[in-house]
Homo-oligomer: A and B are copies of this chain.
Amino acid sequence: MPQRPLILVSNDDGYVAEGLRELADTLESIGDVYVVAPERPRSGVSRMITLHKPLRVIPYDRERRRMYCSGTPTDCVYIALNHILPRKPDLVVSGINRGANLGDDVTYSGTVAAAFEAVAHGIPAIAASLVAHERPDFGPAAELTTRVASEVLANGLPPRTLLNINVPNNYNLQRGLRVTRLGRRGYERVVDRRDDPRGYPYYWIGGPELELDDSPGTDCNAIHQGYAALTPVTLDLNNDELAAQLASWRLD
């Protein structure tokens, strides 16, 4: 009898998040699941890694191999891969995030960062997000992510590449999904200056979302049209075109 696939699940909303539970439960239909997730919400933490202080790992459901870790999503995946799992897993799935991870936002995302850490370790990975903040329904997104996970287990992924999935809320799975590119997600770039009760200024950064990038083929566009978006994302950050041009610069 062939071994069941071993799947690690993490997220950035923290171990109590409903999207994590729904995802882990659904993935158990196709493999043996471990959960190592952050102790508290870590949205927007990107690929932060904790090298200057030690970490704790605490089981919250020992029978079902579910535990939380005091670090970031990247820390969770690192420590799971190098200390907790009994062998190298076949797949790492991060999510389901409450809220979209589209376009440039993937570079800030803790959800996507957890998948990147897996990819940096040579393990196929998926990041999954639900485009909803109110009354989120994680069921269809978990189902769709599990379908994609099955295909990744069957087909593999190229090195240094993850799949980023965004699913609209209350999604009808009959719609299937669209393969997309990362678009540009625009926010109003504002700084909100306020005065504290002692009269000193403090600042809130970030503003409301502007119109979505509606270029055809982008993840933003697919979501705008009511489709789930599946985007291959690479860890290869080289710009070879510019490298070739730099030879003509006077740098010596």
Contacts and interface: CB of A to CB of B under 8 A. Distances in A.
B55 A106 contact: no
B251 A107 contact: no
Contacts of A237: 106-107, 182, 233-235, 237
A1 interface: no
A206 B43 CA distance: 23
Contacts of A251: 147-148, 151, 176-177, 230
Q: A-side binding surface: helix, strand, loop or mixed?
A: mixed
A190 interface: yes
Copies of this subunit: 2
A50 B81 CA distance: 28
Interface in A150-176: 151, 155, 157-158, 161, 176
Interface in A41-75: 43-52, 54-57, 71, 74-75
A250 interface: yes
Contacts of A147: 251
A116 B107 contact: yes
A241 interface: yes
A210 interface: no
